[in-house]
Amino acid sequence: MKKPKTRCAIQIASAALVVVLFLRYGVTNFVLKTVVSSKIKLAPGNDVWNIWSEMPIPMYSKFYFFNVTNPDKVMEGAKPILKEMGPYVYQEHRQKIILESNDETVKYRPKITYMFRPELSYGSQDDKVTLLNVPYVAVAKIAWDVSKEPFMLSTLDDILSAKGESLFHTNRVREFLFDGFSIENYMELFSLPVEAFGVKTEIPARILDGDFGFFDDRNGTAEEIWTVGTGIRDKQNLGKIVSWNGKSSLDGWSDERCNKIDDSTDGTIFPPVADTSRILDVFHPDACRSLQMSYVGPGEFIEIPTHRYSFASNTFESLDLHPENECFCKETYEWCKKGGVFPLWPCVGGAPVFISRPHFMNSHVDYRKAVDGLNENGDYSSVIDVEPTIGLAIRADMKLQVNIELQSFGSMATFINVPNLMFPVFWMEETAELTEELAKPLKWLTIGLLIADSVIQLIVIGCLAIILIAVGIEAKNSNWLGKCCG
């Protein structure tokens, strides 16, 4: 049996341990949270604001085209043979034009300027590439959805064929991307055949000038308006979307869940992400939805510990494996039955445009088997490295592929013999990495927090040691321990 004095000493030590734990995890966490909260906010002039608003991080867009080497044979029903061309590399300069800012939100227009970097590219902007004629397929699909009347469809096809349009066309890289190519042959179709059948359509604003390029409306423009949380009053709102172009949600999908964007960010900054079970939602207007990113493990970049995220497995899943994707379906799109792609039709006027991982990585095998020339063994994963304390994305590597659903459209002669397949057009990779110089404030902050944590621990231990020594001296001098535990 333990002596009373021993039991009492154990009780005193236990009480002291409780005090230590309280000071360690209560006071320390409170102090650190106070320090962190003072930093992680979008306040004009602070380091987070400067990096977020001016984006001094080197950023690049790399484009890879799927050149069609047998276009005539494809029109006769043959399997497409593709040859990848690229990368064609463009450096991005991003900035946010601030419109309004207060303690809760900041409203801005994002502006991106692209500059070709020949020394980083494999080829010239003037390289000629043969691709599926996206405007032709889009017009045919929209007409097919409007009316399957044989006369209208055949007349439409005859008009375009007479003007020299074909299922495939060849243009320069610069024209496909930012310069655009003429689509005057299609402009009159918005008032000719469909109006005759009592259908009204509007010419999309981006093609009013008679040109079309995949990004011809993006270079140097600032059309979108974003409103996001500053994190000043509540750090969990940092970077979260309040509205995009005046809307708090999208309206093209069939369910509120798929239209939801107000829990997303633009992918450059997040609320603190200490909880690795949390899914990060990144809204990408070109993808016409929020993309889910899940934690895949710890990472490190420029000696800064990070949380690494990649596309959540259900983002591209089929309905069988993830029924929640049903609201992204329209009618009986084949993609709903097969995993790996999702449509953009609400954001592209009903055109049969689909997004996937490059080379149909992790997609249904039928997509890859329908064409020749894809890489079956490449790793085309997308990743974001996020500094978890501040929530700043310090490295990003995002890869997506643009595809067109090709099919026959009744009496349209151009499409009668074509194979039904998901046709790869191009894929792009966007990269961004924090430089050593820009990383210094972040390094000092993370190191400072670690030092602060250690210093507070030492102070707590020191104070406790002083208290215990004082208690011991007092106990020895007054013999109160004996009296107390006697």
Residue 342's SS3 state is strand
Strands 211-212 and 181-182 come out as antiparallel
Q: What is the largest CA-CA distance in the chain?
A: 111
Q: Is the dihedral of CA 252, 256, 257, 259 positive or negative?
A: positive
Give pLDDT, residue 81.
Answer: 98
Q: What is the pLDDT of residue 65?
A: 98
Helix (H, G, I), strand (E, B) or coil at 292: strand
Residues in the chain: 486
* Rounded distance between C-alpha atoms, residue 161 and residue 346, angstroms: 28
Model pLDDT, residue 437: 80
Rounded CA-CA distance 343/356 in Å is 9
Beta bridge partners of 378: none
Structure tokens at 428: 């792009």
Given a contact cutoff of 8 angstroms between Cβ atoms, the answer to whether 266 and 430 are in contact is: no
Contact (Cβ atoms closer than 8 angstroms) between residue 75 and residue 367: no
DSSP letter (8 states) at residue 334 = G
What's the gap between Cα 187 and its chain centre? 33
HSE-CB of 138 using CA atoms within 13 angstroms: 21
Kindly list the distances between the CA atom of residue 435 and the CA atoms of 25, 56, 389, 394, 396, in Å, as whole numbers in the listed order.
34, 9, 19, 9, 13
Return the pLDDT at 98.
Answer: 95
pLDDT of residue 55: 82
pLDDT of residue 326: 83
pLDDT of residue 476: 60
| Secondary structure (3-state) at 377 | coil
**Dist CA 54 CA 51 (whole Å):** 6
Spatial separation of the C-alpha atoms in residues 263 and 265, rounded to whole Å: 7
What is the chain's pLDDT, residue by residue, as a tens digit (486 residues)? 445 555 555 555 556 556 655 555 555 555 555 555 566 788 898 878 888 888 888 899 999 999 999 999 999 999 999 999 999 999 999 999 999 999 999 999 999 999 999 999 999 999 999 999 999 998 888 888 877 778 888 888 898 899 899 999 999 999 999 999 988 888 776 665 455 555 555 556 566 667 889 998 888 888 899 999 999 888 889 999 999 999 999 988 888 888 999 889 998 888 887 788 889 999 999 888 999 999 999 988 888 889 999 998 888 888 888 888 888 876 556 677 788 898 888 888 778 899 999 999 999 999 999 999 999 888 999 999 998 877 888 899 999 999 999 999 888 999 999 999 999 999 999 999 988 887 776 666 665 555 555 555 666 666 666 666 655 665 566 665 555 555
